[in-house]
Amino acid sequence: MLTRITITLVLAALLAAVFIFPHTHVRAQGFGPDERFVCGVNERDEIFCTSYRGMEHGRWEKIPGSLRQVVIRQGHLWGVNRGGEMFYSDDFRAGDTHWIRLEGRAKEISEGHGVLCHVNDKDQVYCADEGIDTPHPRWHRAPDGANLKFISVN
Q: Which of 97, 103, 116, 107 is nearest to 47 (CA)?
A: 97
What are the tens digits of pLDDT across the range 53-81? 767 776 788 999 999 999 998 888 999 99
Q: What is the pLDDT of residue 94?
A: 62
CA distance 35 to 74: 10
Tell me the average pLDDT of the chain.
79
CA angle 20, 25, 30 (to 5 degrees): 95
Domain boundaries, the chain: 2-141
Instruction: Tell me the fold of 2-141.
Output: Thrombin, subunit H (2.40.10)
Q: Is the pLDDT of residue 98 over 90?
A: no
111 beta partners: 116
